[in-house]
Homo-oligomer: A and B are copies of this chain.
Amino acid sequence: MRGAKNYKREELLDRAIELFRRQGYSATSTAELVEELGVNRKSMYAEFGSKQGLFEAALERYSERNLTRVLAPIEDPKADAQSIRRAFTGYASASEGAFSGLGCLMANTAVERAALDPGAAKFVDAYLDRLKAGFTRALANAREAGEVKEGTNLDEIAALLSMSVVGVSALIRAKAPADDVRAAARAISNLLDLVKPATEPA
């Protein structure tokens, strides 16, 4: 029974995630949530307390599940420069197809809610920390593997990459031309080539 209840809760949260991601927090009314979740208002309040409570539960599940999947390439303890390239190619590909116009719920929330809502800001801060930690380790691995030349400031590049994940998501959310999003991802890939040590003449 416990399992069934959890399954039901997770299913509701996934539907809430979809709605908040598509419409944002403020533009989503309680009436829409009730309809989309297919529960009555009383059950929704009993389970989540409020629209805010539901939003935070959705952000928690999104962090644990969606972000963990999306950030897997850069959170892999063995991630390196090639993992970063692959991650950005993947993110940029969301500029076409079903994800166009959606963006990442956490990046959307960074812009829509973090400055206004400490409950949401907690999740956004943790998201930015994860990006920074992932890129920092991946770049350290790249240096270890001899893929980064001396004097390269890895903290600065990690900051640029973290900011770029949020920026790429914002462009996808804004339905910017897919060519431009892919070009930005290629520029990041090229940046990683630019910081490679010069190949020694044979």
Contact = CB atoms under 8 A, between A and B. Distances in A.
Contacts of A160: 164, 183-184, 187-188, 191
A188 B187 CA distance: 11
Contact of A115 (B110, B128, B163, B173): B173
A23 B116 contact: yes
A144 interface: no
Interface stretch (A6-14, A75-83, A174-182): A174-182
A26 B108 CA distance: 14
A94 interface: no
Given A184-B160, A187-B156, A24 B166 contact: no
Contacts of A187: 153, 156-157, 159-160
Given A156-B184, A157-B187, A167-B166, A102 B115 contact: yes
A49 to B, nearest CB: 20
A27 interface: yes
A112 B158 CA distance: 26
A73 interface: no
Contact of A132 (B108, B156, B175, B180): B180
A114 B175 contact: yes
Interface in A1-38: 22-27
Contacts of A162: 180, 184
Contacts of A188: 160
Interface in A132-191: 132, 153, 155-160, 162-164, 166-168, 170-171, 173-176, 180-181, 183-184, 186-188, 190-191
11 contacts: A24-B26, A101-B115, A107-B170, A108-B112, A111-B170, A128-B176, A132-B180, A159-B181, A163-B168, A163-B171, A167-B167
